[in-house]
Structure 1
Amino acid sequence: MFCRRWKLSIILATFMVMAGFSVHADGDFARWIEDFYPKAKEAGIESEVFWKAFEPVSSPDVTVLEKAGYQPEFKTRIWDYVDGRVNSLSIEQGQRMSRYHRNTLDLVEKQFGVSRFILLAIWSVESNYGAVLDRPERLHYVPAALATLAYGDVRRRKFAETQLIAALKIFQHKDVGVDGFYGSWAGAMGHTQFIPTSYLAYGVDMDKDGRRDVWNSVPDALATAANLLKENGWRTGKTWGYEVVLPNLPEAALQQYEGQTRLLSEWQQLGFVRPGGKRFVRSGEKAVLKMVAGTEGPGFLMMRNFFVLKRYNNADAYALAVGLLGDRIAGVGELVQPWPRPPGSLTFEQQLTLQRALQKGGWYSGKIDGYIGDASRAAIREFQLRNGMAPTGIASEKLLESLLDRLPE
């Protein structure tokens, strides 16, 4: 029986208060778990299963509460969010995966009617084609994570308790054991990051081994993602949306159209046209106008499939990134219109170039991944110091030009 008592440290309690999380006066996480048992029992969870699931849990998962306060889909600038997910690295890997898993993708596409390229894009955005699953520092034991979230975050308590019950049902069904029961801070699991309730609703045993295994079976993970989209209204053979050039109108006049639904033919008559004069394939269908970067950036006319993608993650940035990446993996060209980036800032591809140049010059030995982190900034500062510049460590177009000019041929 789960009868031990664990108390949060003063540091943890202080952090939770400062972060706006609810803290029990005595900090007794173990008592919360014991008090939750009757709810689990009422939902059909056997006593032995419940206590076995919590056997490895000795304290709240502090990092869950830290991560709960930051979700990039809602806080990152749209061009940075898209750049980080739709780039040469993710596109090339997606095309390799498309070839490697061709037979699986053939079967999944035939059974569920969802584009293989969209499924590959979801796989990429959710777990970097499974690479995240090989990084234990990024993973959380699902029962501990959800219990921590339910215990420590009032805003997410109902969600977390619902997901915790669903997770325990998965465990009870023996789809996963203690050793493999890992996921994100919010309980999303496997290659395609399914929260427990979605797993129960849409999980598919595509490889026919007797269990739905989104952690280790690529066929199961891709089929489960396809099933979710299909059951939520995915329209086979149709696009998620179109990039459009905004008409030359005052900002206030353009803003009035944001979020409106009209026929594609009507949008075209109003001056919202595809770059290069391309025609809309089905001009009689409805679309919603989205200006995700404001009136200075590209516009998008979103079709039904865009909103189906949001059933996976209810953020415009997420659905847009998946749609754009799917197109690029399929061989469709990149966006024609630029994002309204701050002057002098670098694109993801330029950041890759910067890292490669720093590596070539002997200042950087880290990973070439396009992300300017501490190691990249330290390399920039070293380059700047050796070349009589102020050691700011800031990546910019001017810095990149200076670096490239100083590299040997």
Structure 2
Amino acid sequence: MLYPVPLRHSLICLSLCLLSACADQQANQQNTAASATPAPSTAATASKPSNADVAPAQSFAQWLAQFRQQALDAGIQPAIFDQAFAGVSPDEAVVKADNSQPEFTRPVWEYLDGAISAARVRRGQAMLNEHATTLAAIEQAYGVDRQALVAIWGMESSFGQFTGDKSVIRSLASLAYEGRRPAFAQTQLLAALQILQHGDVPSSQLLGSWAGAMGQTQFIPSTYNHYAVDFDGDGRRNIWTSPADALASAANYLRSSGWQQGQPWGVEVTLPESFDYALADADIRKPLNEWRALGVKNLPPDFAQARASLLLPAGYRGPAFLVLDNFRAILKYNNSTSYALAVGLLSERLLNGGQVLAKWPRDDLPLSRAQRIVLQEQLSSKGFNPGGVDGIIGANSRKAIRSYQQSLGWPADGYPNQALLQKLISTL
């Protein structure tokens, strides 16, 4: 049978991906620091397609002149702007990092192996003791549990050891000039100039990651402007070198995101046989007592009316969790379920808990980006709308997967794996 050209191209790419999956998976087995995560953001942004080979339509000098006028119109003082941009030129390393998309996404169990390493747990426990007085005061002021703050601190910067050494102004200017999300980068660049104008930090010390995330809690500039606090009382909001300011700022952000003091982030649970896995949807929230009535076991005795969602991070073959408000607050800090799960488990591990009892399906090979695109294309061709073909398995793609799984009579857990992909392409 002769397939349409786009489909033939996808299938050729898929065949190559399947042949090289084992080799690529081996390259993917790197337990890198889990601190390399997106910074908290207060606004959703849209990305434009990456095309590193297309030159910008105007020179950097032309772009800078236009942006200078916009910044001045927004209230930035000319002297502040000119000092911040003195000698600034595009950083090609930043643009390259922005345009680099990993071919494979690490499975959640590999991510957790790196995030909750024994060394990180020991260091976090030492930080709990060393900063006990400060953490107690922050907990009292903001109602955020100290172990959660220390877990985020460890995830974001390895407890202040790795905060980034790139000029935030130069990085964001590079991204605003020729990055994938210029409007978002320009908004953050303006926020960074407001930080300088406020006087919290000189431009020489306004340092962060290539993406512009700053300090020990890796705030982006707009998040800093809204939520950073001066907790040590020195007159400056210093999330770079003051653990008190950094931790209190994170607590302020989490409180604003709905953190409930003393409530668990979630709990590992056991599901009954013949359970309806389609209930594993972040949009479905039921009180814990309703989950109990459905046969879910190992629920905490308290918080019966707390509303929880069922999370199956590795599908029905892996561990199951009921997650509550605090999990959702962590997601607002970083919208990744793997990240939020790591923070939750690490916070418990710091208190000698947090052991996952169920086994992870470590025999599952992750789908490459090309394979995820083919999966989305095939779901769409069969009438199951994944919401776009971009290789990102988001909420819409999971809903489409659930619907397709239900049509097959499979457990509808919304989890994309090699077996699902093979079934999709075998029915062409």
1:255/1:295 contact within 8 Å kept: no
Select which of 312, 322, 333 maps to 1:312.
333
Aligned pairs (5 A) from 1:187-266 = 187-249=212-274, 253-259=276-282, 260-266=284-290
* Higher relative contact order (CA closer than 8 Å, sequence separation 6+): 2
How many angstroms does 1:20 deviate by? 1.9
How many angstroms does 1:229 deviate by? 0.8
How many angstroms does 1:147 deviate by? 1.0
Corresponding residue for 2:202?
Answer: 177
How many angstroms does 1:343 deviate by? 7.7
How many angstroms does 1:70 deviate by? 5.4
Corresponding residue for 1:108?
Answer: 138
The one-letter amino acid of 1:268's match is: R
Aligned equivalents of 1:25 and 1:200: distance in 2?
30
SS at match of 1:310: helix
Corresponding residue for 1:34?
Answer: 65
The alignment status of 1:292 with 2:313, answered yes or no, reads yes
1:123/1:129 contact within 8 Å kept: yes
How many angstroms does 1:234 deviate by? 1.1
Aligned equivalents of 1:121 and 1:256: distance in 2?
29
Classify 1:344/1:55 alpha carbon distance in 2 versus 1 (closer, same or farther; 3 Å).
closer
Bigger mean CA offset, 101-110 vs 138-147: 138-147
Root-mean-square deviation (CA), in Å? 2.4
Corresponding residue for 2:390?
Answer: none
The one-letter amino acid of 1:270's match is: L
Aligned equivalents of 2:302 and 2:361: distance in 1?
28
Aligned equivalents of 2:237 and 2:308: distance in 1?
36
SS at match of 1:212: coil
The one-letter amino acid of 1:272's match is: V
Corresponding residue for 2:297?
Answer: 273
Aligned pairs (5 A) from 1:303-382 = 303-342=324-363
SS at match of 1:106: helix
The alignment status of 1:145 with 2:171, answered yes or no, reads yes
How many angstroms does 1:176 deviate by? 1.0
Structure 1 segments unaligned to the other structure (5+ residues): 1-16, 346-409
SS at match of 2:137: helix
1:233/1:308 contact within 8 Å kept: yes
How many angstroms does 1:280 deviate by? 3.7
Aligned equivalents of 1:177 and 1:316: distance in 2?
35
Percent identity at matched positions?
42
Bigger mean CA offset, 23-32 vs 103-112: 23-32
1:126/1:192 contact within 8 Å kept: yes
Corresponding residue for 1:55?
Answer: 86
Aligned equivalents of 1:331 and 1:84: distance in 2?
18
Aligned equivalents of 1:160 and 1:22: distance in 2?
20
The one-letter amino acid of 1:264's match is: L
How many angstroms does 1:85 deviate by? 0.8
The alignment status of 1:91 with 2:121, answered yes or no, reads yes
1:244/1:272 contact within 8 Å kept: yes
2:280/2:309 contact within 8 Å kept: no
Once the two structures are superposed, residues 241-274 of structure 1 have per-residue CA deviations (whole angstroms, 9 ceiling, x without a partner) of: 1111232237xx4134433221212212222222
SS at match of 2:286: strand
The count of aligned residue pairs is: 317
Classify 1:61/1:102 alpha carbon distance in 2 versus 1 (closer, same or farther; 3 Å).
same
Aligned equivalents of 2:323 and 2:96: distance in 1?
34
Once the two structures are superposed, residues 166-196 of structure 1 have per-residue CA deviations (whole angstroms, 9 ceiling, x without a partner) of: 0000011121112211111221100001111
Aligned equivalents of 2:51 and 2:263: distance in 1?
44
Aligned equivalents of 2:340 and 2:301: distance in 1?
20
Aligned equivalents of 2:349 and 2:70: distance in 1?
46
How many angstroms does 1:30 deviate by? 2.7
Corresponding residue for 2:152?
Answer: 122
SS at match of 2:332: coil
How many angstroms does 1:224 deviate by? 0.4
Structure 2 segments unaligned to the other structure (5+ residues): 1-47, 367-428
Aligned equivalents of 1:166 and 1:23: distance in 2?
28
Using structure 2 for the length normalisation, give the TM-score.
0.70
How many angstroms does 1:43 deviate by? 1.1
Aligned pairs (5 A) from 1:10-29 = 19-21=50-52, 23-25=54-56, 28-29=59-60
Aligned equivalents of 2:313 and 2:333: distance in 1?
19
Once the two structures are superposed, residues 296-340 of structure 1 have per-residue CA deviations (whole angstroms, 9 ceiling, x without a partner) of: 111111101111111111111111111111111122241111211
2:171/2:212 contact within 8 Å kept: yes
Aligned equivalents of 2:49 and 2:221: distance in 1?
29
SS at match of 2:267: strand
Aligned equivalents of 2:185 and 2:80: distance in 1?
19
The one-letter amino acid of 2:176's match is: A
Corresponding residue for 1:4?
Answer: none
